Amino acid sequence: MKKKRYLSFSESINEAQIQAMRLDKNVFIFGLGVEKTGHVFKTTTGIKKKFSSKRIFESPNSEMALTLFAAGAANKGLRPILIHHRVDFMAYTFDQLVNWISLWSFKSAGMSSMPLVIRAIIGKGWGQGPQHAKTLHSMFSYLPGLITVMPSSPSEAKGLLLSSIMSNDPVIFLEYRELYNTREHVPEKPYFIKLDEVRHRLKGNDITIVAMGPSVLKSIKAQNICGNKIKFDLFDLRSISKFNLNKIYDSLKKTKRLICVEDGWKEGSISSEIISKVAEEGIKLKKPPVKITWPSSHVPMSYNLEKDFYFDENEIVKSAEKMLNKKV
């Protein structure tokens, strides 16, 4: 029996890009740091040796210009992968995203496409502070015409990135910093994950949990703490702008309890949207739904304040205990 192969989140992204570049000669990579020492958390390591500087190259520090360049290249039939180190500075690209990229297909009545991927690094990471630790995922998900993807593990990252690169729609691919060193079995051959397919991660009858990105891992850790005393029906959204909630509706008819877990602010969140859709569907719950999110504040810089700001798996366990009036 062949031994399972384990890759880190970074290695999975690296492999997905290499395989996409082999599958399609129109795929190329550019952005800040792609050729430098860290190679964007090792996600671009070794790619230049395989494909030369014609298909992966360093770029100037201008988020607006880089995004416009990606849009132009995609419009000409290429498949660019643009890397923004920090999602916070994608604020400079909102004119391109809002007024051009997201509505290009709509304005052309579907006759013209814009197949580009913007990889952006988000969230928690070693004293990043208020200007370097946002997620902004719900802002991107608000725009019709954009697909926003937030992978939760190495195997998810590879399949979702390959699908994103080969999609004819523009994709914002958000990578959470604390996931880069996580490891998991990842198949070697190219494979594709549907961008609108919710993944049923854990099966249980007590509480339906909907999570995304790093919140999925925290929810799995919470289930390990709860053991057999509380069983979660856990769903991973994968794409946070284009998802089908039918599996989640079916789960809620069984559990009648809902917890949404999201690394981001509560107001205007994806969690709020899910709870709204559940209400519109007319599904009756035994307890009010719960949102586990960041505080309504900017991310602090100091280590001690940062520890208090971010939630962990224990917060999920506490919410589950309270919802079921049970101690684990």
**Total domains present in the chain:** 2
Alpha-carbon distance 328 to 228, whole Å?
9
Single pTM value for the model: 0.95
Same domain, 90 and 28: yes
Beta pairing, strands 27-31 & 6-8: unpaired
Same domain, 142 and 211: no
Q: For position 127, what pLDDT does the model report?
A: 67
On whether residue 284 sits in a domain, the answer given is yes
Same domain, 100 and 207: no
Q: For position 38, what pLDDT does the model report?
A: 85
pLDDT digits (tens, 9 = 90+) for 231-276: 999 999 999 988 889 999 999 999 999 999 999 999 999 999 999 9
pLDDT digits (tens, 9 = 90+) for 6-41: 999 999 999 999 999 999 999 999 998 898 878 999
Angstrom CA distances, 265 to 83, 86, 91, 220, 293, stand at: 24, 17, 17, 21, 6
Same domain, 212 and 172: no
pLDDT at 129 over 80: no
Beta pairing, strands 199-202 & 232-236: antiparallel
Same domain, 27 and 146: yes
Same domain, 313 and 251: yes
pLDDT at 123 over 90: no
> CA-CA-CA-CA torsion for 120, 125, 129, 134, nearest 10 degrees?
40
Q: Average pLDDT in the 197-215 region?
A: 97
Same domain, 94 and 153: yes
pLDDT above 70: percentage of residues in the chain:
99
Same domain, 209 and 180: no
Q: Average pLDDT in the 151-161 region?
A: 98
Asked if 236 and 156 touch (Cβ cutoff 8 Å), the reply is yes
The CATH number of whichever domain residue 152 belongs to comes to 3.40.50.970
Q: Tell me the residue range of the domain where 79 lies.
A: 6-185
pLDDT at 186 over 70: yes
pLDDT at 311 over 80: yes
Alpha-carbon distance 227 to 8, whole Å?
26
Residue whose pair of structure tokens reads 């913007």 in the numeric block: 118
pLDDT digits (tens, 9 = 90+) for 1-12: 678 899 999 999
Q: Give the Cβ contact number of residue 91 at 10 Å.
A: 12
Q: Average pLDDT in the 60-84 region?
A: 95
pLDDT digits (tens, 9 = 90+) for 287-307: 999 999 999 999 888 888 888
Same domain, 238 and 163: no
Q: Between 176 and 301, where is the model more confident? A: 176
Confidence of residue 171 (pLDDT cuts 50, 70, 90): very high
On whether residue 191 sits in a domain, the answer given is no
The CATH number of whichever domain residue 262 belongs to comes to 3.40.50.920
Which tokens in the block code for residue 47? 């790619």
Q: Average pLDDT in the 150-172 region?
A: 97
On whether residue 81 sits in a domain, the answer given is yes
pLDDT at 201 over 70: yes
Q: For position 126, what pLDDT does the model report?
A: 66
Same domain, 149 and 91: yes
Same domain, 111 and 259: no
Confidence of residue 230 (pLDDT cuts 50, 70, 90): very high
- Residue 327: strand, helix, or coil: coil
Alpha-carbon distance 225 to 75, whole Å?
49
Q: For position 307, what pLDDT does the model report?
A: 84
pLDDT at 117 over 80: yes
pLDDT at 54 over 80: yes
Same domain, 27 and 154: yes
Residue 44: which of 17, 70, 73 has the closest Cα?
17
Give, for 184, the enclosing helix (H) or strand (E): strand 183-185
- End-of-domain residue from the set 122, 152, 185: 185
- End-of-domain residue from the set 185, 212, 245: 185
